[in-house]
A = this chain, B = another copy of it.
Amino acid sequence: MPPDDDYRGGSRDADPAGAPHPLLIEPIVRRALEEDLGRAGDLTTDLLIPPGRTAHAAIVARERGVISGLVAAEIAFRLIDPGVHIQRHLRDGEPVSAGAAIASIEGPARGILTAERVALNFLSHLSGVATSTDALVARIAGTGARIICTRKTIPGLRLLQKYAVRCGGGLNHRFGLDDAILVKDNHIAAAGGLGPVMSRLKHHLGPMVKVEVEVDTLDQLQEALALGFDAVLLDNMSVAVMRQAVEITRRRAKLEASGGIALERVRAIAETGVDFISSGALTHSVRSLDLGMDFL
């Protein structure tokens, strides 16, 4: 089951730059199913639904949102019963209106009932992430800024949450501790200042690693720019100070605004001219999208 988005699709929503490979998702879905099946499996269904019985159901949105996680839901059904057939009416990254069907499910009733909860748990959580991301993205439309996520993710779901952020129109900051450098005050203190930090990084880092530094003041920003950092994280700065930061920087580095990114304030931040606005809440405080399965 290869990733199914088509990047020529046109719309942003339909083009989340690739669902994670099934090889990476399947172990996560398998663990979720094992968590639900326990040792004895679905007692209720196994006792009350005859094996030959088939069913026809639809996954339906109970509220408006942006869809993400269909690939995980599909894997859940397939692992429980390869005979369950799913027809997508929407694709990850597309908006759904309240009451609309996201996908049709057809096949053995036992398999559909047994996989239902796990499939919906993935889909409603990830669609929740995509929906909040989309809300932030919509607010800053027309500015040059982009919404990005952080490492403040739900343990075990980082891969999927980062994908959901992309489905909502956001981009990803680093995936973990190993794919980019983010220098914070503890690191600077231990290394003896920003200069020694940079010279040490230059000596030891391979060519494909980007380097960002977190700053609290415009003085620190100046120093970081002089040393050639790829990106600078502006930590909890006011909109006014951020505007100054943008002027000082003159595109010599990418600027990331971080800290207290609420829906009300995000456009003002974006209009300062920063390149990226990062939000932890996108992945750590997720309201799940209300979805359900209706049997037909």
Contact = CB atoms under 8 A, between A and B. Distances in A.
B79 A208 contact: no
A117 interface: yes
A195 to B, nearest CB: 12
Instruction: For chain A, give the interface size range.
Output: 35 or more
Contact of A200 (B7, B179, B184): B7
B42 A178 contact: yes
A151 B117 CA distance: 7
Interface string A173-193: 111111111111011101100
A256 to B, nearest CB: 7
B207 A231 contact: yes
Interface stretch (A25-33, A241-249, A263-271): A25-33
Interface of A: 2-8, 15, 17-18, 20-21, 23-24, 28-53, 55, 79-81, 83, 108-111, 113-114, 117-118, 120-122, 124-125, 128, 148, 151-159, 162, 166, 171-184, 186-188, 190-191, 197, 200-201, 204-210, 212, 230-231, 254, 256, 275-276, 284-288, 295
Contact of A37 (B8, B41, B53, B176): B176
Contacts of A5: 51
Nearest to A208: B180
A210 B42 CA distance: 14
Contacts of A256: 207
